[in-house]
Amino acid sequence: MEEEPRRLRADAERNRRRLLDAATEIFCERGLEVGVAEIAQHAGVGRGTLFRNFPSKEHLIAAIVVERMNESITRGQAALEAADPGQALFDLIEQSVGRQQTDRALFDALADTWLANNEIRTAHAELMGVLDALVTRAQQAGAVRDDVSAVDVLMMVKGVCEACASFQQVDQAVAMRQLDLVRAAISPAGAARPLRGRPPTIADLERAEETGAKTAPTRRAG
């Protein structure tokens, strides 16, 4: 069961690649709720082609999410070798949630709906193993308080990712501040480190919804 003897035709292979690329880009950018029509269109193929390569949307999602998770696993294993265990952990987290929510698909998959999928669940378990090792190592180095678990950390990071994703386009700085706060939460030092950026105001949340809003009065309280 290594290689399917069934060889794909050249154009078929190319289209499959295009679909995977398009799905990765769109799912990671805008979440798993995006319709299949958009992915097919962005890949430049018809919807039928999508469903021939992947029996269902779930299969496509699983393929991509597992891929992302495996990549995170690799990065995590590399981080296990890093000099500073604490910094390695935080760098990894920041990479994941970092550049314009690159791994939104990954965090979207961190819900019971998708964890019910066996492939995703397996990859997730492995990822958790690595994360657990990273957290433990960081704890031994005194960079993370001893009473938090990998699941504690993962849920906080997922929380940050979800909260930021609730707004069409939150400034990257807000996400970074949130990660700094997570760091403060799970480090023994607490508020030792300053937070990046400036404290966000209500305007930073409202900026995104300029589009189509009916110019609310924004009544000030107090």
| Residues of the shown chain interacting with a second copy in the complex, contacts defined by CB under 8 A | 73, 110-112, 115-116, 118, 121-122, 125-130, 132-133, 145, 147-149, 151-152, 155-156, 158-164, 166-168, 174, 177-178, 181-182, 184-192, 194-195, 199-202, 204-206, 208-209, 212-214, 216-222
Q: Which does 57 bind (CB under 5 to 8 A by kind): DNA, a second copy, none?
A: DNA
Residue 44 or 159 with smaller CB distance to a second copy: 159
Q: In 3D, which of 37, 39, 16, 15 has the Cα closest to residue 27?
A: 39
The separation between CA 3 and the C-alpha centre of its own chain, rounded to angstroms, equals: 30
Residue 83 binds: one of DNA, a second copy, none (C-beta under 5 to 8 A by kind): none
Q: Which does 116 bind (CB under 5 to 8 A by kind): a second copy, DNA, none?
A: a second copy
Q: State the binding partner of 51 from DNA, a second copy, none, CB within 5 to 8 A by kind.
A: DNA
- In this structure, are residues 145 and 139 in contact, taking their beta carbons and an 8 Å threshold? yes
- For 47, 58, 95, 122, the CA distances from 61, given in Å and listed in that order, are 15, 5, 21, 14
Both tokens assigned to 64:
């991509």
What is the spatial distance between Cα 45 and Cα 84, in angstroms, rounded to a whole number?
46
Binding site for DNA (CB under 7 A): 8-12, 14-15, 35-37, 44-49, 51-53, 55-58
CB neighbours (10 Å) of residue 149? 14
